[in-house]
Structure 1
Amino acid sequence: MNATSSWVPRGALTLQTVAALRAAAADAVGRSPQVDLSGVTEADSAALALLIELARGVRAGGQTLQVRGMPAGLAALADLYGVSELLKSTDA
Structure 2
Amino acid sequence: MLNATAPGAASLSGRIDMASCAGLARPLAQLAAQGPLRLDLSGVESADSAALALLLSARRAAAAAGHALTLSGMPAGLATLAGLYDLEALLCAGE
Identical-residue share of aligned pairs (%): 40
- Measured in 2, the distance between the counterparts of 1:4 and 1:90 equals 18
* Inter-CA distance 28–53: structure 2 relative to 1 (3 Å threshold): same
Which protein is richer in strand relative to its size?
2
1:65 pairs, out of 65, 69, 77, with 69
Instruction: Map 1:20-59; keep pairs closer than 5 Å.
Output: 20-31=23-34, 32-59=36-63
Contact persistence 2:25–2:57 (CA under 8 A): no
For residues 6-60 of structure 1, give each alpha carbon's deviation from its aligned partner in whole angstroms, at most 9, with x where no partner exists: 3312211111100011111111122232211111111110001110111122223
1:14 aligns with 2:14: no
- Measured in 1, the distance between the counterparts of 2:64 and 2:88 equals 17
Size of the aligned set, in residue pairs, is 91
Mark the runs of 5 or more structure 2 residues left unpaired by the alignment: none
Displacement over 6 Å in runs of 4+? none
1:88 CA drift (Å): 4.4
Mark the runs of 5 or more structure 1 residues left unpaired by the alignment: none
